[in-house]
Amino acid sequence: MPVDGLGRPTWKKAMNVCSLFLVCIISPSTSSVFSRAIPDMMAEFKTTDQYVSSFVLSVYMLGYAFELYGHTPLYHICTVLFTLCTWRCGAMHSVSELAILLFLAGVGGGSVFAEVLSSVADMTVKKRRGAIPTAGSYINDAWGWRWIFHIIAILGGCATFLSMICLWETSESALIRRKTKQIRGKTGNPNHRSQLEVATGLAKLAIFLQAMSMPLRLMLSSSILLTSLIITIGYGWIYILYTTLPTTFSVTYRWAPKEIGLAYLGTTVGNFIGMVAAGGLSDGIVKRRAARGDSRPAIQLLPMIFFWPLVSVGLLAFVGTGIIVVGAMSAIFFTSTYILNAYPSHSASGIAAASVLRSLIRGFAPLFANKLYHNLYAGSAFSLLAFVALVCAPEPWLFYRYGKR
């Protein structure tokens, strides 16, 4: 049995990555797809309170802040929780019941994002979402908002089934403990211990408590706190757009409900460009810097100097959702790879810690988005958001330049 993810054959790594990718596509689609159907849902429940409508979207996103720790077993438990709660959402008859189930679905779906990058990193050496919202508008127009949840739950069930077949453990510490347990069984020696167990010297309860507290401790570290701040702003501004764009295009431009989703096609292009460009540029910079003897993890943050200002540019254009997403998605890519390289032994906890602020702002942003939009109007509101994003633009360079000190 291999004691790390690198020792697995390529086809097993590919199956693992594909399973994780499918879960990562389906899980966040609940918020982005359902945001297009909120007006119909509010009409059916006979409520016009903007805070209530925003809360329905917010409570799903807040679930992402409650991930703590885990790998393959947690993947299975949380994908099942996500699927069951999402399916049940389609049968709810009150906003409060719907909000509770969306929260639980967010808890289930959120765990994947704190673990997936760590799982992929375990399988690779160091050097080496979008059309869905549009579909949500047409599903809502054809079959009603409840079927949005049913279809997502069906897809989630497929992803859960696939993950149970294809996913295998990649955590080196978990594989070492599993290997040690097998050796104890074969040799009959209950005192046999791995070097990991000898090094930690902790009881099972102590190890569990240490693992539970690690994300909190890392979140309070200056490196993760500062790098997660900039992507927190990016994600929060994206979800303000998600909340206000339906109002703009349905009221101001009088688009039909099924057409509103077309306004979000830019996120598809933005996601693709942001991730592909970020990946290629990141690899190139790391290789060139490594050739000069500079292997600091903060090198991963340098490309953000060019990508992050796109968030402000897209906000000033308002409907430039694709431009905003390029900046925001590339930022999360660069900061995530930085954390993976800076905390190789605690990468999952590091990603979880960085996700907390991002998840909270994604949860609370829709609550004040409509009030901000109506009180300041579109131009002033998004100019303010663009200014805040622009103020943060020098952070990657400052972190790279002075972080070592």
Residue 50 confidence (pLDDT) above 80: no
pLDDT at 219: 74
**Does the pLDDT value for residue 220 go beyond 70?**
yes
Q: Which two tokens stand for residue 134?
A: 């549009």
With left for phi above 0 and alpha for psi between -120 and 50, is residue 167 left, alpha or beta? beta
Residues 311, 316, 321, 323, CA torsion sign? negative
Q: In this structure, which long-range contacts are made by residues 387-391, counting pairs with CB atoms below 8 Å and at least 24 apart in sequence?
A: 387/312, 388/233, 389/233, 389/234, 389/237, 389/308, 389/311, 389/312, 389/315, 390/309, 390/312
Q: Which helix (H) or strand (E) holds 38?
A: helix 38-44
Q: What mean pLDDT is predicted for residues 66-90?
A: 66
- Give the mean model confidence (pLDDT) for residues 47-73: 44
Lowest mean pLDDT segment, chosen from 87-101, 124-138, 188-202: 124-138
Q: Could you tell me the domains of the chain?
A: 1-170 (1.20.1250.20), 202-405 (1.20.1250)
Average pLDDT over residues 99-111: 69
181 vs 361: CA distance, rounded Å: 42
Give the CA angle between residues 238, 271, 220 to the nearest 5°.
60
- Contact between 106 and 60 under an 8 Å Cβ cutoff? The reply is yes
pLDDT grade for 172, boundaries at 50, 70 and 90: low
Q: What band does 266 get if pLDDT is binned at 50, 70 and 90?
A: confident
Burial of 272 (0-12, 13-18, 19+ CB in 10 A): middle
* Residue 66 pLDDT class (50, 70, 90 cuts): very low
CA quadruple 301, 22, 260, 232: dihedral, nearest 10 = -30
Q: How far is CA 76 from CA 4, 8, 82, 166, 172, in A?
A: 20, 21, 10, 11, 19
Tell me the mean pLDDT in the region 262-272.
Answer: 73
**When comparing pLDDT for 299 and 246, which is higher?**
299
- What's the pLDDT band for 257 if we cut at 50, 70, 90? low
Give all strands (DSSP E) within 165-310, no chain letters: none
CB-facing half-sphere around the CA of 46: CA atoms within 13 A: 1
Q: Nearest-CA neighbor of 79 among 196, 161, 12, 202? A: 161
Nearest to 27 by CA among 141, 138, 160, 144: 160
Mean pLDDT of the chain: 68
**Number of neighbours of residue 212 by Cβ within 10 angstroms:** 12
Q: What pLDDT shows up at residue 114?
A: 54
